[in-house]
Every structure is written in C-alpha cells, then in structure tokens.
Amino acid sequence: MPATLAELPVGSSAIVQAMPTGRSCLTRLREMGIVPGTRVSVTRRAPLGEPIEICVRGSHLSMRNHEAAFIAISAA
Amino acid sequence: MSAAAPETPLIAIVGNPNSGKTTLFNLLTGLKQKVANYPGVTVEKKIGECYSQHGKKLRLIDLPGAYSLNARSPDEAVLRDVLLGRRPETPRPDRVVCVLDSANFERNLYMAGQVLELGLPTILVLNMVDVAEQREWRIDAIKLSEILGIPVVKTNAISGQGLIELKLALSREDISPPKWQNAALPEGVKAALEHSRDEMRQAGVIHTRSSLLEPLYLLSDHDPTHYGIADTQIARIHELRSRMETDFPGWEDALVAERYRRIEELCAQVLKRPDQEIETITTKLDRILLHPVLGFVNLLLVLGLLFFLIFKVAEGPMGWIEAGFGQFGAWVEGLMSPGDFRDLIVNGVVPGVSGVVIFLPQILILFFFIGIMEDTGYMSRLAFIMDWAMSKVGLNGKSFLPFLSSYACAIPGVMAARTIDSPKDRLITILIAPLASCSARLPVYSLLIGVLFPVGEVGAFVQAGIMLGLYSLGTLGAFFFAWVFNKFVMKGSASPMILEMPSYKMPALKSILLQVWQRARMFLVRAGTIILGISILIWAASTYPKTAGDDSAKQMEHSFAGRAGKLIEPAIAPLGYDWKIGIGLIGSFAAREVFNSTMSVVYAVESGDDDNLAPLRDKLAAERRPDGRLVYTPLVCISLLVFYVFAMQCVSTIAIVKRETGSWKWAMFQLGYMTGTAYLLSLLIFQIGSALGY
Ligand SMILES: Nc1nc2c(ncn2[C@@H]2O[C@H](COP(=O)(O)OP(=O)(O)O)[C@@H](O)[C@H]2O)c(=O)[nH]1
Ligand SMILES: [Mg+2]
C-alpha cells in the first residue's frame, strides 16, 4: 500500500489517514474537502507526472506532488 | 447606483467560483448593471438592479467567487470584507443569495456553511440542476429548507428554470436567519478568541457588535490585506495569531475538520449519489482532451486556432480601422484651414490614437476566446497540461495563456492575468508578459532584418530564422526573469497550485459578449485619455520649435525630439546608435512600430508604411556617418534588434500595468528592468563585436 497520495496509482482510491497540522499550504486543500477520514481517488496524472487530478467528495481537483506527498493515506 | 434610495435592500450573490453566480446575476438584472473596481484592488465590482414580485426595487451585487471566507486571494478578501461590512463604499448586504453548484454540492457546502454562520438572512440556490442530474446526484431541497429554516431554490441558470421561484424568494422580506450552529470550537480556543475580540474592540479594531467570527477570520487569515483594519493593528493581530498557534497547535485544521463533519451529517440527510461515478460528457471528453498524446495535439490545435484568429482574421478589421482613421484624417485635413491645429489633429491625434485602437480587433478576439475557454471549462485543462512546464520557472499553469496572449499584444495579456488567483504568480506574469515579442515589434524586426540581409543576397529562410531567433530570445528572457523574480525578488512563500476541474459546459454567449464589451470599453477609455495625451506630447515634441523651411528632416532635427535625440546620443553611442536612431527610440515609447514612421520622417523617405518597407530600408542601408562609415552595420542592426526585444517601450502597457497592479511601483520596476537589460545586452553586443573587429 502506498504511503502518500503522491504515490497512489491512477484509478485507485484510499482514505486520508493524516495530514501535518499548521502548514498553510495544506489549509486550502482541507477547505476543499481533504481532511483525515475522507476517501480520495486519483483520476489521472498529467503526461509529465505532475499535476495529479483527484476526486474528493465527488469534486475533481488537481494538485502537485509536493502537496500530495504530505497527505498520508491508508487502504480504502 | 448611488442614487438609489437608502432603503433599497442590497442583496449579495456569493458562492464558489464557477457555481453560476454571474449567469444568475445577468439573468436577474438583464443589462442593468454597472462594473467598476473595488478601490485599491483589481477586483471587479458588479452592481445591478431588479424588481421584486411586488415591484419593489432591489439592488444586487455579484461578489467574487471564493472557496472559503478564510481568504487567500484579493478576490476572496473582498468577499469576506464586504460580508463582514468592512468596506465603507459597499454597505453590508441586507440579504445573501448563496449559489451552490449542485454537481459539487458537498464541497460547495463548505463556504455556504461559513456564510450561514454569519447569520444574515440567506437564500440557498442549488444551481446546475441539469449537471447534477447527469451525474445522478439527487438533493432533497425541501428537507434542506426544513433543516436550515431558509428558502432553498433549485435553478438552471442557462435555461432559466427556477427563476420565478428565486424571484419569489428574493421578494420575501421575512427570511429568518438560518438555523445553522456555528462550528463548535474547543473551550480553550473559544475563550482565547473571546479574549482577542475584547482586546480588539477596546483598540477599536472591530466594532462593538462583532461576533466571534471577526476575530476568527482576523486570526486565521494568512492573507494580510484586511480592509478597514489599521496597519498598526496588524502587528498585534500577528502576535495574537502566533499565541493561538502555540497554545492550540492545529486549531484551524481542527475547525475545518469539524465543519466537514457537520457537512457530512447534513449530506447524509439530503444528498443521494451513486457509489461509482457515472460516465458523463465530462469524463468522456477528459479522456481525449487530457490524453497524454491527443490532449497535447488538441492543445496545439486550439492555440493554432487562437493565433490564426489573432493574426489572420483580425487583419481585416485592423485594416478597416486604419483606413477609417486615415479617411477621417483626410476629411479633417480638407475641412480645416492649414495650421498647427490641423497638423495636431492630422499628424498627432489621429495616427496616435489609431495606432492603439488598431489593436481592438485582436483584443476583442482574444477576450472572446478566453471567455469561451473559461466558460466551457477548457481553461482548467489547459492549465493542467501546461502546469509542469510553467512550474520549472516558478509559475503555474494559469500563467500560460496570459503570457501567450502577449505575443499579440501585452495589453490584453496583462489584463488576462486577472484569471490567476495567486497574487505572486499574477504579478510575475504581468512583469514578464511584455517580453513576449508583440505584434508591434514585428514591423521593426522586418525593417531591420531587411537592412541586415537584403532579400536576394540571402534567402527568405535566413530572414525567417532570425525572426524566430528574436522570438525565442524574448521567450527565454521571459522565463529567465520569471525564475529570477520568483527566486530573489518576490517575498512570500509559493502558494500551492490547486486547480478545480469543473465539468464541461456549453458557453453562455451573452455573458461572454457582455464581458468582452466591458473589457473593450476599458481599453478604449485608456486610448481616449492617456494615449491621446501622449500622442499630443510626441507630436508637439517633433513639431516645435519650428524651422523656416519646408524640409521635414530639417524640422525634425531642429525640434525638441531631434534635440532629445542629440541629448541622449552620448548614452546610446556605446550601443552603436547615432542621434537619429535616438529619435526613433524616443518615438518608440509611444508604440514600438512608431520607429518606422519616425525614421521615415528623419530620413525624409516618402512612404514608410508596413507594406512597403523597401524605400526606407534602402535608405537605412545606405546611410553613412559624417566620417563616411555605414551607420547600419550588421553589428548595429543586431544591437538594435536585441534592444527592441527587451526594452519596455510602450506607454499603453505601462499604463495598463499601473492599473492592474494598482501602483506605479511595479510599472516603473518593469520599465527599469526591461530597458536596463536591453541596454546592457546591446552594449555588450556592440562593444564585444567591435572589439572583435566586426
Ligand atoms: N449546465 C449549466 N451551466 C451553467 C449553469 N449556470 C451557469 N452555467 C455555466 O457555468 C459556467 C460558470 O458560470 P458563471 O456564471 O461564470 O460562474 P461564476 O464564476 O459563479 O460567476 C458558465 O459557462 C455558465 O454558462 C446551469 O445551471 N447549468
Ligand atoms: Mg462570476
């Protein structure tokens, strides 16, 4: 099982396990619905590996690996 | 609309970006709306009027979209400040229409929840019912309305479905504050916030009636542009913030999680959606448009179309504008008796204004195209595909289109940077945009390349190769400076790139055309004021003081412009230029292509228009210095070309940058760094080249 959202293969889903607190770059992702306990799935990767497109709470958004690597996940 | 009676209720339309606020606003107000800027920021303020079912006048305000009241961009800060009643020029709204995208219901509830916490009478609009339908998301509006105790209306802003119900709800004056518990805060945090509130009240930072939300947003916002909060208080707020951070680490994160917990509870009661995502047009289209290969091919096609429209299709109307101004000039010439005033109109005002207005077709096309791309949802895909490349110089995918647009003209490019929400990325994009070789440089490039390599001697291929080299040079320069600014000049951490991928939609042509018109008008007002003034100045500089004779070249030498050329000669001689070129450089500050017409006057060449550069080119190629050496040696031509690639020589762009960045500071910085780079590079080229014996 991959450890962070940045490593989650395209097409699979997982549950957000933990996110470091107090990082302002993650605040907006939380506000967009990515909080511990949420189910996320990776829809696709851009051709050059970044950004990734994910689906959370039925909404689609994309982010870079840098932020995704902060989001620890566990099996869905 | 300040004339409206004070008792006219003000209703704010709020919601996430792309939820359909503007479409609903346009639908409700028709064309009765006024667009301005909020003072101090480049955020559009749209106010309109409509009538309630009882014929009562209502004022509507279309507030900028946001994902959270915890603001991160100037747009979001405006929304928060208006809702908290902090902006003096915009009264606190009496009621709120909160627009939600039904197909992103759960995520949209986050900001909706924050708005409900404010306790203003609120109407919830579940827009995009058709898209939710496609995804088979079912929302129980009746139950939602019961739970929250406020009107809930389902709409489709495109077809107008639900508009009557919305108008009925707008007409109600008895909407009670929503039954939505404020997010629970741990006791300690709450006490600390209350304490901060008391302190801020005493210091007069916030008014005495403010709820806990004011200190909450003051302390949790990392964006420091709070309107109406004195700078002296900001330090104190920072202090309180870091104390909260040490006493209750992660309190803000816990607050977000708590809000989503409550949203999940609510969704369990009112939202039904399939476990697996349903195939929709969006998922199918994305498989092609974001395909590693096909996606890229498609992107090239889209950009190819854009360039075709901007450079080829715009050519016709641009010709008409030029011809129109030309005829107008001729008409005035025939009408008025000869004299300075006629000369001012015919040779100053008309060509000056026409030289800028000629870009109007390109600007209209570009904004129409951008409107379509944004409205359909393709813009996010473009940013998605281009993000990787742009990230290499510290920008993000959203900077791509504004920069690309600048190859037509930097003015719309700078204006298009409004679509970038990160203030830092937006500023960098604006700063580098004019390094893209715009179409006004093209005539100058053609002329000088012609002098450098007359056709016949070397083929058209070499000429084209040099042209391509100049474009590449500008592009490389832009990327280099983006990287430098990002690394060394701009403070503030890089904001994360978070891009919403909206579902594809049919573009709403009416809204797009309205926006195109609003932007075009802004551009024309510029042309009619600042640019008009500068045209007059330049005309005056080359007309006075007068010489006796009829010789236009003599007159030019004698005029202020000629003297200025001689004045700057010592500065530009190390670059290989003489005072005559100096006149051309000065004239170019009105617009770069003015170089050609100025040089035609300087060398008294009959026709110097773009279609027929040959006479001017031959004249330049034959021009000699007093000591008999050629003026336009290959080295001087190259030095001059490089100067034109980098120098900031366009007052219209300077004016727009001033407007879009809100201060002269960045406009002057841009003028300085671009022209400085141009000077240095040209100096190096000429000095090293001369030393090597070229
Ligand atoms: N299918 C559909 N599209 C809509 C609806 N409402 C708005 N749109 C489209 O959604 C896009 C975003 O709308 P806009 O009003 O600009 O959103 P804003 O960012 O909230 O102002 C536009 O392309 C609209 O045409 C709707 O109810 N159904
Ligand atoms: Mg809008």
A26 vs chain B: nearest CA distance in angstroms? 8
What separation in Å is there between the alpha carbon of B163 and the centre of ligand 1? Answer: 14
Residue A13 in contact with partner chain B when CB distance is under 8 A: no
- pLDDT of amino acid B3: 47
**Average confidence (pLDDT) over B139-168:** 92
User: Token pair for residue B561?
Assistant: 């412009």
Q: What is the CATH number of the domain that holds A49?
A: 2.30.30.90
Please state the pTM of the whole predicted model: 0.82
Domain that holds residue A65: 5-75
The per-residue pLDDT for range B195-251, each reduced to its tens digit, is 888 877 777 666 666 677 777 877 777 665 666 666 667 777 778 788 888 888 888
Ligand 2 is an ion; residues with CB less than 5 A from it: B 22
Number of domains making up chain A = 1
A2 vs chain B: nearest CA distance in angstroms? 22
B502 Cβ inside 6 Å of ligand 1: no
Reply yes or no on whether the pLDDT at B376 is more than 80. Answer: yes
The per-residue pLDDT for range B609-647, each reduced to its tens digit, is 555 567 778 888 888 888 888 889 999 999 999 999 999
Q: What is the dihedral of CA B513, B516, B518, B520, to 10 degrees?
A: -140
- pLDDT of amino acid B1: 42
- What is the band of B506 on the pLDDT scale with cuts at 50, 70, 90? confident
* 8 A C-beta contact, residue B200 and residue B233: yes
Q: Which of B216, B256, B263 to mutate to test the interface with A (most CBs of A within 10 A)?
A: B256
A51 cis-preceded (ω within 30 degrees of 0):
yes
Reply yes or no on whether the pLDDT at B289 is more than 90. Answer: yes
- What is the band of B348 on the pLDDT scale with cuts at 50, 70, 90? confident
B104 Cβ inside 6 Å of ligand 1: no
CA distance B413 to B400: 10
The per-residue pLDDT for range B554-603, each reduced to its tens digit, is 777 888 888 988 999 999 999 999 988 998 888 887 778 778 777 777 77
The CATH class of B10-171 is: alpha beta
- Average pLDDT, rounded, for chain B: 84
Reply yes or no on whether the pLDDT at B322 is more than 50. Answer: yes
Q: Which residue blocks in B58-124 are alpha helix, DSSP H? A: 74-83, 105-117
Delimiting residues of CATH 3.40.50.300 domain(s) in chain B: 10-171
Nearest to B581 by CA among B589, B573, B414: B573
∠ CA B429-B359-B334, rounded to 5° = 150
Reply yes or no on whether the pLDDT at B427 is more than 60. Answer: yes
Residue A72 in contact with partner chain B when CB distance is under 8 A: no
B454-492: buried (b, 16+ CB within 10 Å) or exposed (e) per residue? eeeeeeeeebeebbeebbebbbebbbebbbbbbeeebee
Query: Residue for token digits 């590449």?
Result: B472
* 8 A C-beta contact, residue B279 and residue B503: no
